[in-house]
Structure 1
Amino acid sequence: MKYLFIFFLLISGFLQSQRRSSDKIHIEGIILDGFGSPIKRAILYKDSVKTFVQTNKKGVFKTKISNQTKTLSIYSTEHGMATLFYNGEERVEFVFPKEHIVLTERQLEDLGFNTTAYRKGTIDPSRFEDYADIYQLIREMFTGIVVNGSDIVVRGKGSFGDTTPLFLVDDSFVQSISFINPAEVKSIKLLKGEDATLYGSRGANGVFLIYLKK
């Protein structure tokens, strides 16, 4: 009976974990103008709230959203705002009309949109989950760094030819941070220069201190 009870607890925990993971949906969107050309640097709004997600030069964005999301909107300074009702799709497409109305962020606020965004280094941890991966989050959080895919370079001369910074996750050294889900991050701090001397020559290229939620 005891083992049956433990088995029940394990199954319950697994189902709860699966339920939590299903709360987020990976989506991809493509944004086009009225002539079928991609729109870059368009900003995604979820339920009328501005996010940090932007389209790339191909007019594509990728992110994770809550399955409770009702609307998705795309704002472009050159093309205005487009909104669609979200019904759980993994791929969405926005096509702006050839004739469009250009709106300022002030006008968006008058229409009920929340255009507030945090500057680099001041991102509220509650919005970490807006990012598709840990590298996108780090790129938006810190100035003086270059992020190219999974490669991070902290600007400034290191002591070695290798420019890879040092990563500590919950005070343990790791070779890669690709496994980290932004939604699981509690805080990130970047040490460089004199602040990184505690880690000796290994910290010459910068040190990222990442702490995860328990």
Structure 2
Amino acid sequence: MNYRFLLVILVSLFIFPGLNGQSRAKKFFVTGIVTDANSNPVEGAMILVDNKNTNKQTDKKGFFKVKVQPDAALISVFTPATGIGEAMIDGTAMLKITLRQGEISFKPAGTGSQVSDESVNIGYGSVRRRDLSTPVNRLDVRDVRYASYTNMYDLLKGAVPGVQVSGTKITIQGITSFNLSTEPLFIVDGVEVNSIADIKPIEVESLEVLKGAAASIYGSRGANGVILIKLKSGPDLRR
């Protein structure tokens, strides 16, 4: 009996550590809140884990929840308008990340004062981390200053620096492209569209113009620049 009891103990020592290791190796959820420099929630920000896109975005309250591998170390949050912000995965119940235009809001220990040239995969290919902090032209179209515009072409021509508009032809200045067309890429609420002719400025919440490094997140499709449009929703439609 004593030998059998000893055998059971020995077998348990070999089996249960393995089971514990398996439980520790399970994925887990990381949650957080993303805000801008004025403490307003940031909606639609891309969520990356260890520099890889998760295809997750923040909601209207700036909240995100993403499942990560047990060895995950870094959460990054990105929008073309505000650049990239980061936080270490350290067991904090709710991560808080602030995005400030043109800068990286957190640098892991050991990176020094310079922005790293490490590549970040955000879904359209890999982009240098330095390029993700490139500022872009952004308009809050809800501002009363833009209420007099009746179509998007007049709005772009009259209110956005560096954009040339002739009729319905749009060219973003400073673009050098080998494409026959100079038409930029149009993204409306995250969806690529062929034209913005049917969109009225009164329906638009914000407009962003990307070129160069900032547009590189869209790969070759963004070679002529990118115009991002976010439409109003809910109560904003009445404004």
TM-score by structure 2 length? 0.38
- TM normalised by structure 1 equals 0.42
